[in-house]
Amino acid sequence: MPAAKPLRILCIHGVGQHPVGGPWEREWSETVRTALTRAAPNVEPRFAFVHYDDLFEKHPITFLGTLEALAKLTTSAMSAPFRSRGLERGLGNSLRWTAGMVVKWVEDERFRRDTRERLAARLQRFSNDDASPPDLLLAHSLGSLVSYDTLTAVGGLKLANMRLVTFGSQIANPFVSGQFLAGRVQVPTAVGHWTHLYNPEDAAFAAPIRLSDTRFDQVFAPFDEPGVLDHSAPRYLGHPAAAANLWTDFGSLARAMGRGAGTSETTVRVTASGPRASRSKKPRRRALLVGINEYPNADDRLEGCVNDVFLMSSLLQESGYEADDIRVVLDGRATAAALRDRLDWLLDDVGDVDPKDPNPPERLFYFSGHGAQLPSYGQGDKVDRMDETLVPWDFDWTIERSLTDDAFHELYSQLPYGLRFLTIFDCCHSGGMTRDGGPRVRGLTPPDDIRHRALRWNAEVEMWQERELEATNEAFLDKHAERALDGARGREERVSRNARMTNRLGYSMCLRELDTARFNRRRKALGHSGPYMPLLMYACREEEVAMEYRHGAVSHGAFTYALVKNIRDRRKSGDKQPTFERLVRAVHGDLRRLGYEQHPVLAGPTVARNAVVPFATVKRTAKAARAR
């Protein structure tokens, strides 16, 4: 029988009481040893532990500080409806303490430096008796933040054979990611592979992480215990999903090594490519097209949205998209939950993308229906922003049944920079009256109780007025935010101040709350450019309405019809190099000539706005080419 292969495991705890030699060490060790005995019996785990309780005492937090921290983390967590369930269980001492220490650590550089220095020493020497680095780093809760910080900030670490495993982690919580990482999570270059265990029921502000790096994999490990936070480290480590996707890997590697001439001192290593790196071919194109005419309320129904979807699908298939590349969701099937599920499909399997690739992968999200604005509560239960939302079929003016950027950004903000992701919204976010028999407006006016949130009573003039809300990160808006492209005058027009009060889809503003100087220093230190931003095409300005158009007896969105017609006209004229800016300006000119007072808007990075429209030429699909 081949000798057991040692596996050096370094354990990093989170918030709470974790004394040297305490019960937590035995619980972790026994849980991991049991899992390895079942999945990898030829592996012999060796454990070491890093302790931080003394540093927590060195950097104390007050009761008031825990409440303020709770507000910061809760605001970002509550914005995601699929995570709000855990917060409804009650805000006990454990949750407040976790929130307080996480926020304290994020905001206190001295605290981060102390934890970083302690872990860095152990990463270079596993124990007093073993000068080798660890093979596996297990990091729970705040310990995952400490580990990430150390692995990205400390130079000279050579851990290409080490695997990082995080669980119960707040790394991707919007507040933590925005303040600590300038909105961008990356696999630390020092490690060979990173596995993230995620429990959707974890109420301690844990969040999923979506990365396209082949050195990363996320394992869903759901467990739900009534009355607790569902944040237990042993429950994560002993979960069946961890056994199937983590511990069996070490058994496979050890067995492969055992067929060689290894000795008992040969250790299990994780290669830089990752034990479960996907080698399947990634889809080059995907498109999600949504159209909703038949809203439940008869007064909200539209006429041209389904036609718009078929028009866009025909355009894409003329441009090289296979029919299998396109998914369509119409009317009653376009619920909030269904849209999130389809968006997950759209942005999944992107893979690694070379930013210099002249022919990068493409993703397109098109929505034709109603839009709206939700006055939303921030810290202290105060309305501090207007959330732009798409209106799903089952929309009811709640976060749970809307599609705002607070839910959307989790899907796109960590996409690889080289990906070409275009979103087209033929809707508006200002309500309007539709005359019987006349063109319909694609935006909803909020009911009076919702509208009241955005108003204040001016006793001096005895009138209701809109509240003045502060814009987030005006420097970013100045550089990247939308410009209305005036086709008639050939110029750009800046958005109004009111538009800057709105949390717009595609902007990831919750990840951009650092002031510009701090944001730039942090992202440069981490070697990235901030959250990914898609190219966004809107049918009109925020304060305008998007109208429907009747082409004879057939209804369409005026913007969509003009957009597709303009692209096809350019094909006929031989113009194969239109940029997005030129295209949107021309579409506005067409709308203006037809008498529509709506200004199409383009937002996104400068390089994307000036890029050539990829579906401006007719291309045969691979299937069509084979058929010939």
Check: CB of residue 123 under 8 Å from CB of residue 156.
Answer: no
Question: Using CA of residue 21, residue 22, residue 28, residue 34, what is the dihedral sign?
Answer: positive
Q: Is residue 455 part of a domain?
A: yes
- Domain assignment present for 265: no
Q: Is 420 helix (H, G, I), strand (E, B) or coil?
A: strand
Q: How many residues does the chain have?
A: 628
Average pLDDT over residues 412-421: 93
- The sign of the CA dihedral 522, 526, 529, 532 is negative
Alpha helices (H) in 259-335, listed in sequence order:
305-318
Examine the domain organization and report whether 251 and 398 are in the same domain.
no
Beta partners for residue 362, in sequence order: 285, 420
pLDDT band at 543 (very low <50, low <70, confident <90, very high): confident
Q: How far, in Å, are 17, 21, 66, 70, 108 from residue 62 at the CA level?
A: 17, 28, 6, 12, 14
Domain that holds residue 307: 285-627
The pLDDT score that the predictor gives to residue 453 is 63
Give the DSSP H or E segment for 94: helix 93-107
Does the CA dihedral 486-373-510-285 come out positive or negative?
negative
Answer whether residue 139 is part of any domain.
yes
> Over the chain, what is the mean pLDDT?
81
Judgement on whether residues 174 and 321 belong to the same structural domain of the protein: no
pLDDT for position 11: 97
pLDDT digits (tens, 9 = 90+) for 468-527: 666 565 555 555 555 544 444 444 444 444 444 567 788 887 888 888 888 999 999 999
> Is 369 in the same domain as 472?
yes
What is the Cα–Cα distance from 542 to 588, expressed in whole angstroms? 15
Can you tell me the distance from the alpha carbon of 209 to that of 413, in angstroms, rounded to the nearest whole number? 10
Inside any domain, residue 271: no
The verdict on 23 and 77 lying in the same domain is yes
- How far CA 85 is from CA of 139, 236, 325, 512, in Å, comes to 25, 19, 34, 26
pLDDT over 70 (residue 88): no
User: Do 45 and 132 have their domain in common?
Assistant: yes
pLDDT score of 482: 52
Least confident of 94-98, 139-143, 278-282, 494-498: 494-498
CATH number of the domain within which 580 lies:
3.40.50.1460
The Cα 563–Cα 297 span in angstroms is 29
Q: Look up residue 489 and give its two tokens.
A: 């005058």
Task: Give the angle 188-178-540 at the CA atoms, nearest 5°.
Answer: 120
Using the CB atoms, write b or e for 10-24: b if 16+ within 10 Å.
bbbbbbbebeeeeeb
Residues 6+ apart with CB under 8 A from 338: 329, 392
- Residue 128's CATH number: 3.40.50
Q: How far are the Cα atoms of 8, 119, 216 from residue 191, in angstroms, in the given order?
A: 15, 15, 10
Q: Tens digit of pLDDT for each residue in 295-335?
A: 999 989 999 999 999 999 999 999 999 999 999 999 999 99
- Residue 49: pLDDT over 80: yes
- Determine the pLDDT at residue 539: 93
Q: How big, in percent rounded to 5, are the helix, strand and coil portions of the chain? A: 40, 20, 40
Whether residues 524 and 583 fall in one domain: yes
Share of the chain above pLDDT 70, in %: 76
Which range has highest mean pLDDT (108-112, 403-407, 432-436, 497-501)?
Answer: 108-112
Closest CA to 481 of 536, 399, 543, 403: 536
Question: Measured between alpha carbons, how far is residue 365 from residues 65, 234, 321, 621 in Å?
Answer: 41, 40, 14, 20
Please say whether the beta carbons of 5 and 254 come within 8 A: yes
Q: How confident is the model at residue 280 (pLDDT cuts 50, 70, 90)?
A: low
pLDDT, tens only, 163-218: 999 999 999 999 899 999 999 999 999 999 999 999 999 989 899 999 989 899 99
pLDDT surpasses 90 at 239: yes
CA–CA gap between residue 342 and residue 63 (Å, rounded):
42
Confidence band, pLDDT 50/70/90 cuts, at residue 342? very high
Is residue 277 a part of any domain in this protein? no
Residue 549 lies in a domain: yes
Residues 291 and 236 in one domain: no
Domain boundary among 217, 241, 258: 258
Task: Provide DSSP, 55-71.
Answer: HHHHS---HHHHHHHHH
- Report d(CA 34, CA 45) in Å as an integer: 10
Residues 125 and 69 in one domain: yes
Helix (H) or strand (E) holding 25: helix 23-39
Q: Is residue 275 part of a domain?
A: no
Q: Strand, coil or helix: what is 569?
A: helix
Of the candidates 215, 212, 232, 214, the residue with the CA atom closest to the CA atom of residue 224: 232
Q: Are residues 210 and 298 in the same domain?
A: no
Host H or E run for residue 43 = strand 43-50
Tell me: do 109 and 243 sit in the same domain: yes
Q: Give the least confident one: 77-86, 95-104, 219-228, 437-446.
A: 77-86
> At residue 126, does pLDDT exceed 50?
yes
Domain count for the chain, please give it: 2
Q: Say if residues 465 and 456 touch (Cβ distance below 8 Å).
A: yes
Specify whether 247 is located in the same domain as 332.
no
* Residue 213, burial from CB neighbour count under 10 angstroms (0-12, 13-18, 19+): middle
Average pLDDT rounded to a whole number, residues 17-29: 94
Q: Rounded to an integer, what distance in angstroms lies between the CA atom of residue 429 and that of residue 403?
A: 13
Helix axes 174-181, 93-107, angle to 10 degrees: 20
Strands 535-538 and 420-426 come out as parallel
Whether residue 156 sits in one domain with residue 248: yes
Residue 273 domain-assigned?
no
